[in-house]
Structure 1
Amino acid sequence: MSEATHVQWFPGHMAKTRRIMASNMKLVDAVVEITDARIPYSSRNPEIKKIVGAKPRLVLLNKADSADANMTDRWIEYYKKQGVRAIATDCRSGRNVNRFYSELKELLKEDISRWEAKGMTGRPIRIMIVGIPNVGKSSFINRLAGAKTAKVEDRPGVTRGKQWVSLDEGFELLDMPGVLWPKFEDKLVGERLAFTGAVKDRILDTEFLACRLLEFLKDNYNELLEARYGITTGDIPPCDDETAGCVVGYEILERIGRKRGFLVSGGEINTERAANTVLDEYRSGKIGRMTLEQPRIRK
């Protein structure tokens, strides 16, 4: 596939997860939705809102140490205006992970007061944790639990069944497998999910993905791009329209390949190797802190 138009990605276990999520909603007091702070819009499953309904919800912008800090602040303010409590977290550094408890207690303070009035002091606070694949959900749970209770692997589709996890401060957490939605009508959403590894690389061509990412970086984070790869991009003319495809991105990809010495026989540039390098270094945060989308209202 050469582009991300109308990507469809709906394995059977994801359909099953939706049913499990809906049937277990009555067992929990609140829902914690983990998103990727680099793509806060694209990493939110629009179907979760329908399943959660009126249940109290806390949104975590995870991997915040890899995101643009100013943009993360804008997203938190955006959620606040929408009446949604949100915090920025990072599982690798542990930043704000334990704030999870105080935020949930504040979110549920009226329920907690009502339980205490009924003599139910010490009643467990039961939380469902949801999110699409590869947003760091398992790593977050392991940070909270202090042990490797959830299987962690840097690829989508690892956690397959629901599991309860006992946490500190009287919390019980119901972990749901990562779940995407049936079809990405917005091709940019599909691309951004592929950039971060939320969908498997085989869904889209890696060179196409790297080119699209490099085009965005040139327009929005060019200093980081040039500093990481020791190249200049100012002399590359912009695309006149969408029909130009990945001309700009491919030129940058070739420059990166040449700079890194990714050459094959005859001096030809190994653009596939360069593409894999760009995607790997973006996902690991080596290029720098960046956010790929600004706050907007999802219809």
Structure 2
Amino acid sequence: MSFTCKPCFYKTMSKFNFDRHILTEKHKKLVDEYINNNVEFKICVECGKNFRHSSSYYRHVKTCINNNNCNNKEYSNELLELMHENEKLKLEIKYQSQLAQKDVEKFKMGMELQEAFLQKQKSNISSHQEHSHPQINNNNYQDVINIQGDNNTLLTKKDTMNFYFGQTLDLDTFIQNFETKYPLTQEETRTLAENYQNSGIKSYGPGLLCYLKKNYKRQIKDITGQEPDDDVVMPFLSSDGTLRTHLEKATEGWKIVKDITKIDRIIIVSNDYIYNYHTTHLPIGSKERKIVSNSMLRNSTYDNAKDIAKRKCITNKY
């Protein structure tokens, strides 16, 4: 599925990127220009019909049945201006309602996550008092929650990930297993190599991420003995659209990092597997690895993980 912003000529496959785009000042400015340029300027003041093209408008004026009913040119001009403003207002209301609906959806998701967090914490508060938090009370209990207004949620991103996905396999263990016991298959490496040859480096990231998720699910199944959910959360996620930082799962919990060395390592190992199977090394240097890592992070996001957490809350509720 693709998301398109017609006023900005912007198209993306990511709903996360599209939601961020429509909140930018550049988008709002271009929408205003789009509204002004797309209003039906040619309006027959006698009958109220709209015409996009001047030729159609003037042809209609000659034959309009109400043409002789209004001779007051000043009144006609005022009516024309009012109808023009009405068209602009309708487009503006439609645009603002779309923005408001997205804000409501984000706020509701944040409140549902907060409620689930509080309910689970309260149910376990006694055991926490006895073992790890003997001094906790209602006042400092609330301090656990950090207000993040920009994200429309009362939980930090690390809090949310540690709460819902604290048992996720850490990235170091995943990489070690990927290198030693859970290689890419011959068919997977062939597909990666063919995609690279046919479509270039930008096709490598989405394909590799798909196979990494399958690899990750195999590791989880073998370690836990249980079949993992279809919606798997990888041990690395983009924390925002800028990609300046990202979330990684460490042994002690989730953390926000800037360094992409570990993701680079995954890309290098995948290229080694291609060579082992097909004696072909793809020309993936540091610049290309940056493109691949950014591509994988754009498709493995914190917002996706939050959606999965929300669905789990709804499922557990019933």
> TM (normalized to structure 1)?
0.23
Rg larger for: 2
* Greater strand content: 1
* Greater helix content: 2
